[in-house]
Amino acid sequence: MSNNKIEIRKLYKIFGPDPLPLIEKVNNGVGKDELLDKYQHVLGLSNINLDIPDQSLQVIMGLSGSGKSTLIRHINRLIEPTSGAMMVDGQDVLTLSQNELLEFRKNKTAMVFQKFALLPHKTVLQNVSFGLFIKKVDPAEAEKKSMYWIERVGLLGFENRYPQQLSGGMQQRVGLARALANDPDILLMDEAFSALDPLIRKDMQDILLELQSELKKTVVFITHDLDEALKIGDRIAILKDGCMDQEGDAVDILMSPKTDYVKKFVEDVNRSRVLKAKNIMQNVSEISKDLLDGQSLKVKADDVIEKFIDRVVTDKPNLVEVLGADGSAIGYLSPSRLAEILRK
């Protein structure tokens, strides 16, 4: 048994009246534009394969039209694929009957939407408990659970307001609380923070990371913003025109972009602000003996390079020691490694 929560296999989605025969054409290299011109079908997704480990935060990134929103809607089957498999906990979601699908959506997944998609005629409390209401959870218990999540996202005191009376950031907190109140294994976030101001967006990212470090859900997060992807993603998949361009962790994407498209994306990223010590640290075996004996600088695993680079320059340590949560060294960084990473 692998520890993948979600396994996407050979997933195709072609929009149009008769898509099945066109899969072969797409496999033979017919692109998105040609498919539209010649066959009047729109290519949504083409041969997507992706493993999402349990309890990880998977970012799916791409520009508009790249198929990222289409892909996330296949996980809870809001969109039917043309062909392929979507395994969740070893079960193919695409073979579920209508009733099984409703049960799956009630218990396994919850979704947060770009434009919040709150129910305007219901109060914050009623919105947050919507999923529990659908599941027919006892009202008193549903209220207790909902109030807990309203408090966790910092909306205590607003539970009897209507969504229209809240700011965008607060509305999306309601959206997040509504998803979490359902206690799903999988949290699907479709450009959840894209509609928010930069400052509010940063707040929401921090809330999500804090909650995730405690809850350990499997999160699938869609975004078009590389900085956001690098900040929150354990792993990042980049989509272009319905095809998977590259998949990997932040370091893979930043240090070894595979295609021109990805290269263009990462060109302007400030690496020292994005990469954390734990992302780039080396094993003890990769470090030469004499460096280990010398004077070292101690940094935390979650510190970004920017936070300690000045001390590396002024103190000139032989080695940077990366400390884990318990204070012991979990990895090392040689100055030459740092220099290599910061060089473009």
Partner 1 sequence: MAKETNFFFDFPTLPVEMIRAFKKSTDAAYKGFSREYGDLIESFFNPLLKFLVFWEKLLVGTPWLVIIGVVCAFAYFGTRSYKIVIGIILSFFFVGYMGMWQDMMESMGFIIVATIMSIGIGIPMGIWMSKSNRAQAVITPILDFMQTLPPFVYLIPVVMLLGIGKIPGLISVIVYAIPPMIRLTNLGIREVDREILEAADSFGATPSQKLRQVQFPLALPTIFAGVNQTIMMALAMVIIASMIGVKGLGQEVLRAITNQYFTLGMLNGLAIVILAIVFDRISQAYGKRIQKHRSGDAI
Shortest CB 119 distance to partner 1, Å: 6
**Torsions phi, psi of 14, nearest 5?**
-120, 125
Of 160 and 288, which has the nearer Cβ to partner 1?
160
Q: Give, in order, the Cα–Cα distances in Å from 75 to each of 68, 84, 113, 219.
A: 11, 12, 14, 12
Q: Kindly state the smallest distance separating residue 17's Cβ from partner 1, in Å.
A: 16
Nearer to partner 1, 190 or 241 (CB): 190
User: Is the CB of 187 or the CB of 322 nearer to partner 1?
Assistant: 187
Min dist CB 186 to partner 1, Å, is 11
User: In whole angstroms, how close is the CB of 113 to partner 1 at the nearest point?
Assistant: 6
Task: Write out the residues near partner 1 by the rule CB under 8 A.
Answer: 76, 78, 101-107, 109-111, 113-115, 117-121, 130-131, 133-135, 161-165, 182, 188
Between 15 and 104, name the residue whose CB sits nearer to partner 1: 104
Parallel, antiparallel or unpaired: strands 235-240 and 57-61:
parallel
Cβ at position 125, least distance to partner 1 in Å: 13
Which of 81/131 has CB closer to partner 1?
A: 131
